[in-house]
């Protein structure tokens, strides 16, 4: 249970009171015996993860300690010509969600609207992580190619969405800056040796960064995948990594009740497998963390949603992650969470103190229904909403926990990223699945390649055609 001492002021606090049976009853909450019966298994998992790490099999765990590419990235940022006004990340999934999360969490909320001076000369940031033609065309229409750099990110080097957007952007650049200047407008982040993008780097001479071996997309935000665009927009990537390193230190203990990654994985696993909480909602009451919830959604879904266990049995595991935002989604989803099926666990993320406050003006003092707000702070209201929702859910026997951050900066975000990545590794081991592959995503990619006529993928095209001919449709 959390203790309120002075040290808490500067620490992340995980309050799990409301997932326990003491608070919400044993039908939906975890009984102490259920928790303790799994502690020795979690200890074993902790030791096994350490062994795998020592054997070089969990490269993502070492990322906060890799300083080599930080200097390279800082050098790249220094060299970027002052004429560049726009920086566009092209990627998808793990090659984009981390970038978006870092930007929205750590940069000014209206970063692109700030004057160049207030952005300290840094370019505006854009993220192209879909192939909706309207989005791609609209973005290019709004930008000046001579003042734009594209950071194309793909570990495999041939993801159809990313490479299509890249080919469109490259053509668009070619038309205005010409072949000679093309490379000055492109920076690639991809595998050191494999894939078509690496071949293009060599052929056309783009600047490039490496996605290290053994680090999957959704675990790669603390590599050049996430760090290049972060540094370009002025985020302190050294502090981000220092936060990750600090969390690594915290997660060294094999004692599950002292290791937040192990404990939170175990709580979610028990809620899923013993209490039927098949849905895990992450609901920050911090606008800047809305995309952290999006990043988490991919991490939890792709890592744990598996058909086969490690020993080859069909298991169909995984908790469905849902993202929500407080207080906005109190007015869209909370009714369901409060009174709908008993199938969810909610994680609130809050801030000890909001970095800035807005006072609600005193006005209309004769109107009791609104005058009580006068003189109070918006942050006070948001916090009150968060705490009230947690309490109301608990009253309705709905498990929920709260992660409170001391502040939101690069260090604390680095801690949170690392915490959730390690938590996912623990959860994978608890479910007995491999959290680092994504065969389901790959299958979808194969069908798309088949449909688009890629050589070698004909069988997938035939399957899609057969499926379409049998389809049932209603035209209205
Ligand atoms: O987490 C993952 O591995 C995936 O989401 C990938 O990041 C995504 O499919 C994009 O792959 P790539 O970086 O190879 O383009």
Choosing from 92, 165, 301 the residue with most ligand 1 atoms within 8 A of its CB, the one to mutate for a pocket test is 92
Q: Are residues 204 and 274 in the same domain?
A: no
Last residue of a domain, one of 195, 219, 235: 235
Does residue 118 lie within any of the structural domains? yes
Q: Is 159 in the pocket of ligand 1 (CB under 6 A)?
A: yes
- Tell me if 302 CB under 6 Å of ligand 1: yes
Is the minimum distance from the CB of 233 to ligand 1 under 6 angstroms? no
Question: Do 257 and 405 sit in the same domain of this protein?
Answer: yes
Measured from the Cα of 94, ligand 1's closest atom is 7
Give the confidence band of 470 by pLDDT, cuts at 50, 70, 90.
confident
Name which residue sits closest to atom 9 of ligand 1, judged by CA: 93
Give the Cα separation of 274 and 47 in Å (integer). Answer: 25
Cβ(195) to ligand 1 under 6 A?
no
Confidence category of residue 317, pLDDT binned at 50, 70, 90 = very high
| In a domain? residue 197 | yes
Tell me the residue range of the domain where 194 lies.
80-235
Q: Are residues 166 and 262 in the same domain?
A: no
CATH code for the domain in which residue 105 is found: 3.40.50.10490
CA distance 171 to 187: 15
Ligand 1: does its nearest atom lie under 6 Å from the Cβ of 264? Answer: no
Residue 308, C-beta contacts closer than 8 angstroms, at least 6 positions apart: 314, 315, 433
Asked if residue 305 has its Cβ within 6 Å of ligand 1, the reply is no
Domain count, the chain: 2
Angstrom CA distances, 299 to 268, 312, 447, stand at: 14, 22, 23
Do 251 and 166 have their domain in common?
Answer: no
Position 6 pLDDT exceeds 80: no
Residue 325 Cα, ligand 1 centroid: separation in angstroms? 25
Residue 389 CB–ligand 1 contact under 6 Å: no
Asked if 231 and 253 sit in the same domain, the reply is: no
Q: 45-89 pLDDT, tens per residue?
A: 999 999 999 999 999 999 999 888 999 999 999 999 999 999 999
Q: Tell me, yes or no, whether 457 lies in a domain.
A: no
Q: Which of 392, 415, 431 is the last residue of a domain?
A: 431
Q: Which residues are catalytic?
A: 302, 331, 445
140-157 per-position pLDDT tens digit: 999 999 999 999 999 999
- Report the separation in Å between the CA atom of 428 and the middle of ligand 1, taken as the mean of its atom positions: 19
Q: What are the CA-CA distances from residue 458 to residues 61, 441, 464 (Å)?
A: 39, 18, 10
Domain contains 367? yes
**What confidence score (pLDDT) does residue 215 get?**
97
- CB of 94 within 6 A of ligand 1: the answer is yes
List, in order, residues 6 or more apart from 254 with CB less than 8 Å away: 43, 46, 47, 50
Task: Say yes or no: 227 and 253 in one domain.
Answer: no
pLDDT the model gives residue 16: 98
* Residue 156 alpha carbon, nearest atom of ligand 1: 14
Tell me, yes or no, whether 291 and 193 share the same domain: no
The last residue of a domain, from among 210, 235, 260: 235
> What's the helix, strand, coil split of the chain in %, to 5?
55, 10, 35
Among residues 400, 385, 394, the alpha carbon closest in space to that of 279 is found at 400
199 and 227 part of one domain: yes
In a domain, residue 324? The reply is yes
Over range 125-141, report the average pLDDT: 98
Does 180 share its domain with 316? no
| Cβ 294 under 6 angstroms from ligand 1 | no
Distance 99 CA to ligand 1 centre (A): 13
pLDDT in tens, 267-282: 999 999 999 999 999 9
Mutate to test the pocket of ligand 1, among 89, 130, 156 (most ligand atoms within 8 A of CB): 156
Locate the ligand 1 atom nearest the alpha carbon of residue 302 and give its number.
Answer: 1
Residue 476 counted as domain residue:
no
What would the two tokens of residue 374 be?
């006068």
**349 strand-pairing partners:** 284, 403
The ligand 1 atom at the shortest distance from the C-alpha of residue 441 is: 9
463 CA distance to ligand 1 middle (Å): 24
Q: Are 197 and 190 in contact (CB under 8 A)?
A: yes
Burial letters 295-304, b for 16+ CB under 10 A, else e:
bbbbbbbbbb
Asked whether residue 250 falls in the same domain as residue 350, the answer is: yes
- Please indicate whether residue 462 or residue 83 has the higher confidence score (pLDDT): 83
Q: Whose CA is nearest to atom 15 of ligand 1?
A: 154
| Residue 438 domain flag | no
- Does pLDDT of 467 surpass 80? no
Which of 151, 161, 441, 446 to mutate to test ligand 1, by most ligand atoms within 8 A of the CB atom?
441
How does pLDDT run across 203-254, given as a tens digit for each residue? Answer: 999 999 999 999 999 999 999 999 999 999 999 999 999 999 999 999 999 9
Pocket test for ligand 1, best of 98, 129, 155, 294 (most atoms within 8 A of CB): 155
Ligand 1 contact via 155 beta carbon (within 6 Å)? yes
In a domain, 188, yes or no: yes
Residues 115 and 210 in one domain: yes
Mean pLDDT of the chain: 95
Residues 447, 441: contact at Cβ < 8 Å? no
pLDDT of 4 reads: 52
Residues 86 and 45 in one domain: no
| Tokens found for residue 165 | 């957007």
Ligand 1 centroid–CA 128 distance in Å is: 14
Q: Tell me: the pLDDT tens digits for 447-458? A: 888 898 889 999
Q: Is the dihedral of CA 216, 86, 128, 186 positive or negative?
A: negative
């Amino acid at each position: 249970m959390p203790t309120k001492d002075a040290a808490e002021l500067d620490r992340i606090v995980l309050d799990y009171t409301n997932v326990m049976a003491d608070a919400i009853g044993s039908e939906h909450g975890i009984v102490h015996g259920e928790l303790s019966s799994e502690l020795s298994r979690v200890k074993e998992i902790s030791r096994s993860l350490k062994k795998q790490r020592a054997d070089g099999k969990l490269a993502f765990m070492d990322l906060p300690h890799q300083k080599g590419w930080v200097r390279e990235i800082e050098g790249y940022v220094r060299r970027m010509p002052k004429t560049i006004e726009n920086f566009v990340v092209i990627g998808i999934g793990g090659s984009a969600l981390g970038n978006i999360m870092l930007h929205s969490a750590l940069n000014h909320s209206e970063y692109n609207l700030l004057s160049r001076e207030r952005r300290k000369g840094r370019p505006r940031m854009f993220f192209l992580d879909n192939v909706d033609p309207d989005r791609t065309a609209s973005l290019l229409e709004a930008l000046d190619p001579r003042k734009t750099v594209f950071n194309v990110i793909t570990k495999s080097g041939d993801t159809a969405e990313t490479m299509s957007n890249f080919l469109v952007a490259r053509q668009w650049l070619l038309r205005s800056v010409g072949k000679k200047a093309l490379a000055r407008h492109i920076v690639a982040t991809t595998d050191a040796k494999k894939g078509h993008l690496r071949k293009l780097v060599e052929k056309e001479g783009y600047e490039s960064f490496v996605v290290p071996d053994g680090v999957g997309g959704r675990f790669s935000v603390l590599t050049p995948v996430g760090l290049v665009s972060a540094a370009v927009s002025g985020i302190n990537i050294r502090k981000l990594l220092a936060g990750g390193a600090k969390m690594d230190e915290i997660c060294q203990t094999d004692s599950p009740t002292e290791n937040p990654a192990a404990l939170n994985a175990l709580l979610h696993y028990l809620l899923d497998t013993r209490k039927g909480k098949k849905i895990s909602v992450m609901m920050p009451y911090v606008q800047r963390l809305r995309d952290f919830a999006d990043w988490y959604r991919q991490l939890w879904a792709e890592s744990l949603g598996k058909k086969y266990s490690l020993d080859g049995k069909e298991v169909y595991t995984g908790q469905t992650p849902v993202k929500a935002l407080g207080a906005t989604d109190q007015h869209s989803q909370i009714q369901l969470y409060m009174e709908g099926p008993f199938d969810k666990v909610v994680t609130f993320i809050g801030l000890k103190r909001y970095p800035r406050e807005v006072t609600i003006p005193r006005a209309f003092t004769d109107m009791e229904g609104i005058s009580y707000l006068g003189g109070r702070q918006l942050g006070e209201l948001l916090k009150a909403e968060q705490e009230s929702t947690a309490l109301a859910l608990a009253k309705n026997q709905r498990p929920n926990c709260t992660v409170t951050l001391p502040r939101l900066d690069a260090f604390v975000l680095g801690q949170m990223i690392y915490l959730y990545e390690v938590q996912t590794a623990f959860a994978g081991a608890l479910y007995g699945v491999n959290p680092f592959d994504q065969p389901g995503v790959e299958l979808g990619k194969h069908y798309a390649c088949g449909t688009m006529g890629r050589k070698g993928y004909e069988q997938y095209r035939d399957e899609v055609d057969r499926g379409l001919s049998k389809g049932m449709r209603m035209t209205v």
